[in-house]
Structure 1
Amino acid sequence: MSTHATYEFKAEIKQLLEILVHSLYTDREIFLRELVSNASDALDKLRITAAEATDEAPLEIRIEADKDKKTLAISDNGIGMTEAELVENIGTIAHSGSAAFLKAMKEAGNSADGIIGRFGVGFYSVYMVAQSVRILTRSHREGATPVEWISEGQGAYSIRELSGEEAQAVGRGTRIEISLKDDLAEQFTEADTLRHIIRKHSNFLSFPIIVDGERVNTVPALWREPKFQITKEQYKEFYSFLTYDLDEPMDTLHVSVDAPVQFNALCFIPKKSKDFMGFDREDWGLDLYVRRVLIQRQNKDLIPQYLMFARGVVDTEDLPLNISRETLQDNRLIRKINTTLTKQILSQLAKMAEDKDAYATFWREHSRVFKAGYMDFANREAFAALLRFNSSSCEAADELVSLDEYISRAKPDQKQVYFAFGPSREALKLNPHLELFRKKGVEVLYLYEPIDEFVMDALHTYKEFTLTPAELAKPDDLAKLPDVEQAPEEAAAAPEKDSLEALLVRFKDILGDGVADVRATSRLTGSPCCLVNPDGHTTSSMDKIMRAMNHDASVPKKVMELNPTHPLVRNLADLHQADPQDPFVEQAARQLFESALLLEGYLSDPHALVGRVQDLLSKASGWYAKSK
């Protein structure tokens, strides 16, 4: 007959401490963050309980190092502990006095927002650097007896009440004296090192932190202050502290959000981009704080990468951290912060865009990064409204227009936003595909960077307008619009149908497999010919991008379109009609084809073209000289 019994788990305390010290934390300097956080909690508890201080000393945290003795001391004049509380809070692993305090405050209906501690293990991180630790503490309670606690972190500790002169030397609060390990004594008794650690992890705690007589945390946690109380100079000081940038930020976003997740954020848009030629692409992200204590520098999950130009901090009390407070247990809340903060930043940019000059400054510095937001489908409309382009209606290359401005100038019944890609404004002015648009007075957006193609392709539509490449536009859609530009004076009447068709066939025979087809077009007004993709869906620029990605250096087979009203085409038709084997027709066909390839950036070897031009000039100069 079996018996049923209940047993309690047993713990090997020495081994448990070994795990806490050597496996829980990744960086030794974290011990100082934990001890300072505990000291801050002690001061907050005194403040929250409105305990009457027995002296008028300001509430503060003091850190003192002695290189000769190889010791470090962290002290506070906070709430202190009795012997029983010392045994319960320090002598009991994983018992959090702060967590118990928070629970009591909540049950009493009181707020305790400043309290940091939760797990009751942070103190033991001290043994990453300590040979032994001594705690001197006196409770704030009237008549409390000071207590001494000593341990080497091997599973046991000693504790005793102090009396006489020893007791008189201990004031309200707690003092932790650390005898440092020999190999770490020099590092953690260096004042500059201690200041750096404090500024990195605990700079924004609300109480002064004094290192060797000098206050370290002089910059307040502005994100927790009401916006109307903060001056422009304070924002500038905080921004400079955060980024080491001496310029003022271009813009500032200060938000306090309660739902769907509670957080405070202070973000800045720098005047200058750090994205120089793709360098420093990993140097971005917002600093994540929980209750004013740094959890992660440059957290890349708080904002999408296309907003990487934003610098700042996010502070929340809702995040569930792991026991070391170094990583997050649940990223769902981070994703909610990301969603909310992204909308806030886009809204702030929309406000900035109301000032065209200010937004143009932003666009010049940060557009290359911002354009990568074309994959943010959740904020598609807000993103698209913030895009800016140069266009055919602009008088200068640095002038910018939005999609909304383009739409406001669209022709009646026009439901397309037309765009064209080119290396420069001058190159686009020579693009034969845009001639019909100039003739009809239809605005074309100019795209200068490869990413622009992906932006337009991903968006596809905006406010019921289709984003359409100019070279893929159907001439019939534009033909019905009235002309605003006179046709070139040298334009000729189109050849007769039979004569033109015969010339097209001759061109196709001459160019052979170099072209997919040769046909007449109505899209040209001033150029004799152009090349178009046979599928009618892929632009030349996108085709080049895809070929470059696939390391394909071949020349694509395109359709050659001839302008029947151009004098050159008419003359060639007449020559071909008089002599189908006239060598000048062949010479002209190859010249026109290679010139079109040159314009589109596909002609890798221009030698034949140059030789042909020289031959044609020789012949033309002879005729010209005789005419004189």
Structure 2
Amino acid sequence: MSATEKTFEFKAEIKQLLEILVHSLYTNKEIFLRELVSNASDALDKQRFAAASGEDAAEDAAPAIRIDLDAEAKTLAVTDNGIGMTREELVQNIGTIAHSGSAEFARRVAQAKNNGGSTGLDNLIGRFGVGFYSVYMVADAVEVTTRSAQAGAPAQVWTSDGKGSYTITEAPADTPRGTRILVRLKPDLVPQFTDPELIKEIIKRHSNFISFPILVNGERVNTVPALWREPKFQVTPEQYKEFYSFLTHDDAEPLANMHISVDAPVQFNALLFVPPHDTDLLGLNREDWGQDLYVRRVLIERRDKDLLPRYLSFVRGVVDTEDLPLNISRETLQDNLLIRKMHSTLTKQVLGELEKMTTDADKYAAFWRAHGQIFKTGYSDYVNREKFAALLRFNSSADTDAQGLTSLDTYIDRAKTGQKAVYYAFAPSREAAGLSPHLEIFRRKGLEVLYLYEPVDEFVMESLREYKEFKLTAAEHAPAADLEQFPDEAGKRTAEELSGKDAEALPGLLARIKDILGEQVTEVKASERLSESPVCLANPDGRVTSSMDKIMRVMSRDTSIPKKVLEVNPDHPLVRNLLGVFRANPEDPFLEQAIRQLFESALLLDGYLADPHALVGRMQDLLTKASGWYAKTREQNGNS
């Protein structure tokens, strides 16, 4: 042992703590490199601050962090030309576990300033003073060579195997200012942590946005700057596009970018993007969403799902905050009020950006086609209900095709005088909506109807219920009295009133229909809304729509056919023909055959008819009879 070498024993309790730190605190071995790079970044920040403050710590070389790999020597070295450490600081910062040199340095500078202003050291990463010891997850021994920027301070070498003791000795006088940490790797980890490509990948994953150059075997790794830290007016569209491509590996132009800087209630910066297309086309990565969370440019959590609600999961980006409470390993966040405040602020920012996007109809249509389905799941966000509702889009009966998109505001602007409801109807397609019996009165009155094609749309409407004093009303539940106040549009067919005999026979026919169908329907009544169809089915309670009823039945695995109200259109020619048959003979077999056919046709339109065999057989029989009557009539009339 030389005259300058001195051996120090770890205290017994510190030995136990070190064992815990190495084997239990960190879950991923590669984290040691993040911690060493973070410490190097701190040292460079301290040196830069000291130089700017006029202390005897002039910078003599460009600040940088160098990582050198040597597979033959089985070593990995992390070197910085930062502020370095004296012998006393070595004992305090490394020899004493949980003594944070960064925290102590910031405290001393703040005390020296003593003016209430910023110390300029808010970006120092170290807080707990335990990150260095993560190196023993991969190291058999560690050698720290350091020379302090303090004038006249000799260079020192700290060595330890992390088991029972460490030694400190003076280093050669020509040792450059800064710190070099030489890690003698465990044999089984040499191939992994001397692989330049793997080390570059680790740096890019955890420390890519450290503000100083990081070089692996002389090649710079962190070439993409932390744009969110730059003033907005200094960032070009090309830089935003480059950063988006780096983040998502997508070469397309994002639909929008959000450069956010917030000072209160919590200080953070963010750079968020709206991709131009769905990033999960096959549904294989539904859980691969969230923002990358950084604390002072160091990645803490990839795909953090607490910063934005799930219905905004299409947003990609990074969030960087100055001071979030982490667990001691810095691998996970502690649940706290600050995260919830960031969540609230970011959600409002994203919704505000989408609102701006609506001024460009084509761009918003592209957004809606890409992300509308997931966005609609935000119906439970009661805090942002109005903003959410204003951003919704639906196909409408007023649109010229299925690609058209209508907002609730546009619907309200087009509403008829005296109209106090936004009417909607569920349909599997626009064509099906055009054939829906429930919408006949709306077509006759020229009332616009929003078409719902996805099951989630039902939950959206049920949750919102109202928008700007307009009630969101299912078309099939709209009171006929409310609709009759609007005049029929010109050119719509109006049937002649029932003759006296048919009017008298109508209640009997309705009763006969109920006798024929029995318990299959709850009621049979004359319809006030049908004009083109002979019959339709309606829910008896008037609250649950047909589509919602089907959703609930699927969820409960109920395959039975629901009992509904059968509404009969007295103005339809087929019903009037049945009135004639009924008046002639209420027990005519054709009457029962026709009624069952109409009922099953209504079931088919509503999607409840599971077995169509009886319907098809009955249809063929009716066609056989009808074709015979038609041929006989043609013959009697001389084929005219």
TM-score, reference length from structure 2 = 0.94
Assess if the C-alpha contact under 8 Å between 1:434 and 1:470 holds in 2: yes
Q: Matched residue of 2:281: which SS?
A: coil
**Counterpart for residue 122 of structure 1:** 131
- AA matched with 1:493: E
**Counterpart for residue 197 of structure 2:** 192
TM alignment of 1:162-181, pairs within 5 A: 162=171, 166-168=172-174, 170-181=175-186
Q: Matched residue of 1:143: which SS?
A: coil
* Deviation for aligned residue 1:242: 1.1
Note if 1:82 corresponds to 2:75.
no
* Deviation for aligned residue 1:507: 0.5
| Selected match of 2:590 from 569, 584, 593 | 584
* Deviation for aligned residue 1:492: 4.2
Task: Give the whole-Å Cα distance in 2 for the aligned partners of 1:482 and 1:315.
Answer: 59
- AA matched with 1:404: D
- AA matched with 1:379: N
TM alignment of 1:418-433, pairs within 5 A: 418-433=423-438
Assess if the C-alpha contact under 8 Å between 2:311 and 2:376 holds in 1: yes
Assess if the C-alpha contact under 8 Å between 2:18 and 2:162 holds in 1: yes
Task: Give the whole-Å Cα distance in 2 for the aligned partners of 1:453 and 1:227.
Answer: 41
- AA matched with 1:49: A
TM alignment of 1:50-65, pairs within 5 A: 50=51, 51=55, 56-65=60-69
* Deviation for aligned residue 1:216: 0.4
Assess if the C-alpha contact under 8 Å between 2:48 and 2:59 holds in 1: no
Task: Give the whole-Å Cα distance in 2 for the aligned partners of 1:13 and 1:568.
Answer: 93
Assess if the C-alpha contact under 8 Å between 1:353 and 1:359 holds in 2: yes
Task: Give the whole-Å Cα distance in 1 for the aligned partners of 2:342 and 2:58.
Answer: 43
Q: Matched residue of 2:169: which SS?
A: strand
| Selected match of 2:140 from 131, 137, 149 | 131
TM alignment of 1:401-480, pairs within 5 A: 401-480=406-485
**Counterpart for residue 321 of structure 1:** 326
Q: Matched residue of 1:580: which SS?
A: coil
**Counterpart for residue 18 of structure 1:** 19
TM alignment of 1:383-402, pairs within 5 A: 383-402=388-407
Assess if the C-alpha contact under 8 Å between 1:438 and 1:485 holds in 2: no
TM alignment of 1:539-578, pairs within 5 A: 539-578=545-584
| Selected match of 1:533 from 524, 530, 539 | 539
- AA matched with 2:593: Q
- AA matched with 1:467: L
Of 264-273 and 102-111, more deviation after overlay is shown by 102-111
* Deviation for aligned residue 1:142: 2.4
Q: Matched residue of 2:173: which SS?
A: helix
Task: Give the whole-Å Cα distance in 1 for the aligned partners of 2:12 and 2:120.
Answer: 35
Q: Matched residue of 2:383: which SS?
A: helix
Q: Matched residue of 2:33: which SS?
A: helix
Q: Matched residue of 2:575: which SS?
A: helix
Task: Give the whole-Å Cα distance in 2 for the aligned partners of 1:582 and 1:390.
Answer: 46
Q: What is the percent sequence identity of the aligned residues?
A: 65
**Counterpart for residue 159 of structure 2:** 150
**Counterpart for residue 340 of structure 2:** 335
Note if 1:617 corresponds to 2:623.
yes
**Counterpart for residue 97 of structure 1:** 101
RMSD of aligned alpha carbons? 1.3
**Counterpart for residue 242 of structure 1:** 247
* Deviation for aligned residue 1:106: 2.6
Task: Give the whole-Å Cα distance in 2 for the aligned partners of 1:484 and 1:52.
Answer: 89
**Counterpart for residue 43 of structure 1:** 44
**Counterpart for residue 297 of structure 2:** 292
- The runs of 5 or more residues in structure 2 that have no matched partner are 1-10
**Counterpart for residue 4 of structure 1:** none
In the TM superposition, what whole-angstrom CA distance separates every residue of 1:543-601 from its partner, at most 9, and x where no partner exists?
Answer: 00000111111100011001111111111112101111112211111111011111111
- AA matched with 1:81: M
**Counterpart for residue 601 of structure 1:** 607
- AA matched with 1:118: R
**Counterpart for residue 384 of structure 2:** 379
Assess if the C-alpha contact under 8 Å between 2:290 and 2:304 holds in 1: yes
Task: Give the whole-Å Cα distance in 2 for the aligned partners of 1:255 and 1:536.
Answer: 47
* Deviation for aligned residue 1:306: 0.5
Note if 1:303 corresponds to 2:304.
no
Task: Give the whole-Å Cα distance in 1 for the aligned partners of 2:335 and 2:615.
Answer: 64
Q: Matched residue of 2:536: which SS?
A: strand
Task: Give the whole-Å Cα distance in 2 for the aligned partners of 1:362 and 1:13.
Answer: 56
Task: Give the whole-Å Cα distance in 2 for the aligned partners of 1:571 and 1:380.
Answer: 51
In the TM superposition, what whole-angstrom CA distance separates every residue of 1:275-330 from its partner, at most 9, and x where no partner exists?
Answer: 33533110101011000000001011111001000011111012111111111223
| Inter-CA distance 328–29: structure 2 relative to 1 (3 Å threshold) | same
